[in-house]
């Protein structure tokens, strides 16, 4: 479908879903974000934006659309949804058909986060941005579902004064969210025949002991007070592997841990390694990925405009690209139509009424900067 021949936000969302954009980290068959970035670029150009592509990895660009600053505008807001999705493996529906059924639009990314992207793009197309008292930009970001390389590259450019990251939040303002410390624990042992286990050292047993210690003593590692919105940090073992045969005592074991961190716990991965060392636990900590938590003051004037349109302030246990903008000194939030409960599911969908509500919502948000018109 040609980007300029689309006549509704629902059609736009369908077109976006029909373009496969699985993150290559989860799908060896993925071609990355190239095709969807080009499609979005065409739509932005047809809406009057100056378009630029920034390749963050081979065949994986960010796409930017910038509109000229209106006379007197001294600040710029940036709409920033991500282009990629998780893998389609295990889905119970056709992931790219974008079927409409009983008031829902089905397909991979419909909720996370092509619904948000469609609503934002259609709002930008529907408003005369030259009449606002703020400049506007759009960034379609690659790699949100893995290393968030797109957000890091975009945030480093310092393109705006406030970032509106697209995620399915039921149109509530996620002004704070937990971060993550993804780490791998490695334990070593000594292999022997399983008929004489006492003569060896079982790396799996050592891993079990290590995990039990970490769970029991977790509150002592990098402690911070509970957060009134986010609660407490959490630790979850997501994957474990070790051993070669049932009758061989294993000499290696590996466990991957997902730790959800609060503001002030950005050094959690280092803290875990130091804790194990101090307590003479025979385990090695390897850092996989650390994503910072987010906090943007809810008193920010750009946020207050969302509240004025009916949004609630909320936090999230998941993480997203917004934190990277905040790290670069740019206040950021996550917001969009749809529910996070549908993200990454086998039958992912977005309610069409929610998509349409989101489009109107973002349209009214933009019009709130037009003092000569106000919201529709």
Three-class secondary structure assignment of 355-370 = HHHHHHHHHHHHHCCC
From the list 41, 52, 119, the residue with the least C-alpha distance to 360 is 119
Residue-range domains of the chain with CATH:
3-177+293-367 (3.40.630.10), 179-291 (3.30.70.360)
**What pTM, to 2 d.p., does this model score?**
0.91
Closest CA to 310 of 338, 342, 335, 331: 335
Residue 329 has what DSSP assignment? T
Two structure tokens written together for 170:
């039921």
Q: Is 231 left (phi over 0), alpha (psi -120 to 50) or beta?
A: left
Alpha helices in the chain (DSSP H): 9-17, 34-46, 115-126, 149-156, 203-217, 268-278, 301-308, 322-327, 352-367
Q: How is residue 196 written in tokens?
A: 């004489």
Strand positions, DSSP E, the chain? 50-57, 60-66, 76-79, 100-101, 104-106, 135-140, 162-166, 173-177, 179-188, 234-242, 252-261, 284-291, 294-295, 313-316, 332-335, 349-351
Residue carrying structure tokens 């007197």: 72
pLDDT tens per residue across all 376 residues of the chain:
677 678 899 999 999 999 999 999 877 777 889 999 999 999 999 999 999 999 999 999 999 999 999 999 999 999 999 999 999 999 999 999 999 999 999 999 999 999 999 999 999 999 999 999 999 999 999 999 999 999 999 999 999 999 999 999 999 999 999 999 999 999 999 999 999 999 999 999 999 999 999 999 999 999 999 999 999 999 999 999 999 999 999 999 999 999 999 999 999 999 999 999 999 999 999 999 999 999 999 999 999 999 999 999 999 999 999 999 999 999 999 999 999 999 999 999 999 999 999 999 999 999 999 976 544 4
């Amino acid at each position: 479908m040609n980007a300029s021949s689309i006549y509704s936000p629902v059609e736009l969302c369908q077109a976006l879903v029909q373009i496969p954009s699985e993150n290559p980290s989860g799908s060896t068959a993925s071609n990355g974000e190239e095709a969807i970035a080009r499609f979005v670029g065409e739509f932005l150009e047809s809406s009057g934006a100056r378009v630029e592509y920034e390749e963050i990895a081979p065949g994986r660009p960010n796409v930017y659309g910038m509109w000229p600053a209106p006379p007197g505008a001294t600040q710029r807001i940036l709409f920033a949804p991500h282009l990629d999705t998780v893998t389609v493996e295990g889905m119970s529906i056709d992931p790219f058909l974008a079927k409409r059924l009983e008031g829902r639009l089905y397909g991979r990314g419909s909720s996370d986060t092509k619904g948000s992207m469609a609503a934002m793009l259609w709002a930008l197309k529907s408003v005369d941005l030259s009449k606002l008292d703020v400049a506007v930009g759009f960034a379609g970001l690659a790699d949100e579902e893995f290393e968030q390389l797109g957000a890091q590259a975009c945030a480093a450019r310092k393109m705006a004064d406030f970032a509106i990251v697209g995620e399915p939040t039921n149109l509530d303002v996620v002004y704070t969210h937990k971060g993550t410390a993804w780490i791998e624990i490695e334990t070593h042992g000594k292999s022997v025949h399983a008929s004489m286990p006492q003569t060896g050292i079982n790396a799996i047993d050592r891993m079990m002991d290590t995990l039990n210690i970490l769970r029991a003593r977790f509150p002592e590692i990098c402690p911070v007070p509970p957060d009134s919105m986010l609660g407490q940090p959490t630790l979850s073992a997501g994957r474990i592997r070790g051993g070669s045969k049932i009758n061989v005592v294993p000499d290696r074991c590996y466990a991957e841990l997902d730790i959800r961190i609060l503001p002030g716990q950005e050094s959690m991965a280092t803290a875990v390694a130091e804790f194990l060392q101090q307590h003479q636990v025979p385990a090695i900590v390897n850092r996989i990925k650390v994503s910072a938590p987010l906090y943007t003051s809810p008193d920010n004037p750009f946020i207050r405009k969302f509240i004025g349109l009916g949004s609630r302030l909320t936090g999230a246990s998941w993480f997203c690209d917004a934190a990277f903008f905040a790290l670069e000194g740019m206040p950021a939030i996550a917001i969009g139509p749809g529910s996070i409960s549908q993200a990454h599911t086998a039958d992912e969908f977005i309610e069409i009424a929610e998509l349409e509500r989101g489009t109107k919502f973002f349209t009214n948000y933009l019009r709130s900067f037009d003092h000569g018109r106000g919201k529709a």
